[in-house]
Chain A
Amino acid sequence: MAQITESVPRSSNKPKSAIGALFRRLLRSRTGMLGLVIVVLVTLIAIFAPLLAAHDPAKTDIMNRLVPPFWLDGGNMSYPLGTDNLGRDVLSRIIYGSRVSLLVGISAVLLAGAIGIVMGLLAGYYGKAWDFIIMRLVDSFLAIPSILFMLIILAVMGPSLMTLILVLGGTSWVVYARMVRSETLSVKERDYVRSAKAIGALDFRIIVKYILPNVISSFIVIATLNVASTIIMEASLSFLGLGIQSPDVSWGLMLSDGREYIATSWWVATFPGLAITITVLGVIFFGDWLRDVLDPKIKD
């Protein structure tokens, strides 16, 4: 009912500052606000980790191994969330672990996004041979199980923070390429792109000024949500011993370390697990809210 949606007011077009409007919408959305608070908090923790952590996350202390959290018998405030099998402070390790989670999550997504956007724009805008070649490349990436792909690369290059980012970014760009391509195909047909051609704008300008700004909001939404899945992916790889290696800390690695002690000293694995869950939920809440706000299909 095109006519009806047109005649029914959704929001007024009063000119006002875009940031202010965004913030007001954020205040109205409880989950969005919660998500933002969590994301900001985790980011602050990651940035100020050396100031917040009471102990060196890598320092072992066999005398104090497997100390329970402070509220259990035998626990004390020196190790609020207890220690692991080598006597390392769980809380301090979680604090430092946030750095890896965020760094890997964000860098991998940015890397994948950069490749995916360029590929998607080229395939969508130029079509024909460009489209054929890029989309077949995408298909072949999708056909190989990404975990197998990761394992091969990691085995060849050896696990490190850098490889982890390259692997996670290098396998997930196809998602963005497909999305950006399909958005480009639809934006390309809009009259404003025709109008840019009619005034004689060059392809590069059309892609950068007319198409990119109009596909970027969908990208931001998907990218945000993918930060969450990348964090989980990093944890899984580290858990399997293919990601971060000791003495560096990551939540996935902590899970792996605590696995053997889950029956006797549950806190070693549980708290990093909780940290992953809370962070991922926060990112997802924030991403969902972003989608509601940015999605051009929902709002002008």
Chain B
Amino acid sequence: MTISAEREVIVEVRNLKKHFEMSNGFLKKTKTTVRAVDGLNFKVYEGETLGIVGESGCGKSTTGQLLLGLMEATEGEIYFRSTDLASMNKEALRKARKDLQVIFQDPYSSLNPRMTVGELIGEPLVVHGIMRGKALRERVIELMQLVGLREHQYDRFPHEFSGGQRQRIGIARALALNPKVIVCDEAVSALDVSIQAQILNLLNRLQKELDLTYVFIAHGLPAVRHISDRIGVMYLGKMVELAGRDELFNNPLHPYSHALLDAVPIPDPKFRKEHELIEGEIPSPSNPPSGCRFHPRCPYATAKCREEEPEYREVLPDHFIACHHPLLDEDTSIVPATH
């Protein structure tokens, strides 16, 4: 698989960092720096879905917000095509946002409860002064039909809809400006299984029809595997591994990815097994471990891991990893053979 050779890079992130200053303490103020995102490098190719997975505190949501320009980066560059979003002024960024849109996790809190469906979906077009009046209404209805909503729902309010339908409203809104890239921030995580399937299928269909690029951020691995072409695994603000979907699942090289994939319960009692549990809790990003951040929980950790931070590098074609002791030799497949 050589995805990189064929496709054009649409988004590129170089040495991206986001640090939050937090002051706490009552009598004695202490300042701590939370390194939510700490030096990310990756590319997103046109037309692909890049999945980003990780557990709480890994910085995947912050990454999404940085990509969207909803937060200012502490350091680093985000290129959309060839322009650096991080260095843009406010007005230029506002215009650039037309090409970068977002679908949020919680369909209950991501829609303004005081606006009707028609207003919600048409809002991006109004904000950018693209359409109004009859043309606007027609475009909104077209978008509604595209995501499976009915015309008669135009004047309803979001609270009259179920979670899945609300997520459709959010998707239609994201599509209104004909964006190139959509960041799906836990877009299906809050939905019931049967509804999640509907939305995943819808996202897949829209990607084909509209030539979209997705950055799919989620903690639910089955959904990520279903929708992604390539998947990046984050741990404590760092990308620890990034590879093609099947490559990652069949041949995870980083001990953390391996443990993460192994921990996912397989919905088939035939494959019931003992998990290779990783010890301990996820450390706080305000005080990350030295060297490799995974070393306190890693079964393969050595003195080198404690002292030296591993370099993020391409160990196999299109397979990136940051680890001193990648699981290259043994059989690392965690996925049972397809029956």
- Does chain A touch chain B in the assembled complex, meaning CB atoms less than 8 Å apart? yes
Minimum C-beta distance from A128 to chain B (A) = 14
Q: Flag whether A200 is at the interface (Cβ < 8 A).
A: yes
A194 in contact (CB, < 8 A)? yes
Interface residue from A194, A200, A213 paired with B127 (Cβ < 8 Å): A200
A190 within 8 A of B: yes
For residue B111, which residues in chain A have a CB less than 8 angstroms away from its CB? 192, 195
A195 to B115 Cα, complex, angstroms: 13
Partner of A300, one of B98, B159, B170, B177: B159
- B94 touching A200 by the CB < 8 A rule? yes
| B177 contacts across to A, CB distance below 8 A | 199
Tell me which residues across on chain B come within 8 A of A115, comparing CB atoms.
none
B109 touches A200 (CB 8 A): no
Looking at the assembled complex, report how far the CB atom of A72 sits from the nearest CB atom of chain B, in whole angstroms: 56
B131 smallest CB distance to A (angstroms): 14
Say which size band chain B's interface belongs to.
20 to 34
B112 touches A199 (CB 8 A): no
Q: Is B95 an interface residue (CB 8 A)?
A: yes
Contact of A214 among B100, B104, B114 (CB under 8 A): B114
Q: Is the CB of A213 within 8 A of B124?
A: no
Q: How many residues of A contact B (CB 8 A)?
A: 20
How far is it, in angstroms, between the C-alpha of A195 and the C-alpha of B185 when the chains are bound? Answer: 12
Contact A199 B97 (CB under 8 A): yes
Do A201 and B127 touch (CB < 8 A)?
yes
Assuming the contacts A196-B123, A200-B97, asked whether A300 and B113 have C-beta atoms less than 8 A apart, the reply is: yes
Q: Does A13 contact B (CB under 8 A)?
A: yes
Shortest beta-carbon distance, B155 to chain A, in Å? 10
Answer whether A209 and B115 are a contact pair too, CB < 8 Å, given A195-B104, A198-B70. Answer: yes
Q: In this complex, which of A190, A200, A210, A214 has the most chain B Cβ atoms within 10 angstroms of its Cβ?
A: A200
Cβ contact within 8 Å between B95 and A196: no
A197 at the interface (CB under 8 A from B): yes
Asked if A199 and B159 make an inter-chain contact with CB atoms under 8 angstroms apart, the answer reads: no
A191 touches B106 (CB 8 A): yes
CA distance A191 to B106 in the complex (A): 8
Is B102 interfacial (CB-CB < 8 Å)? yes
Chain B positions near chain A (C-beta within 8 angstroms)? 65, 68, 70, 94-95, 97-98, 100-102, 104-106, 109-115, 123-124, 127-128, 156, 159-160, 170, 173, 176-177
Residues of A within 8 A of B (CB): 13, 15, 190-192, 194-202, 205, 209-210, 213-214, 300
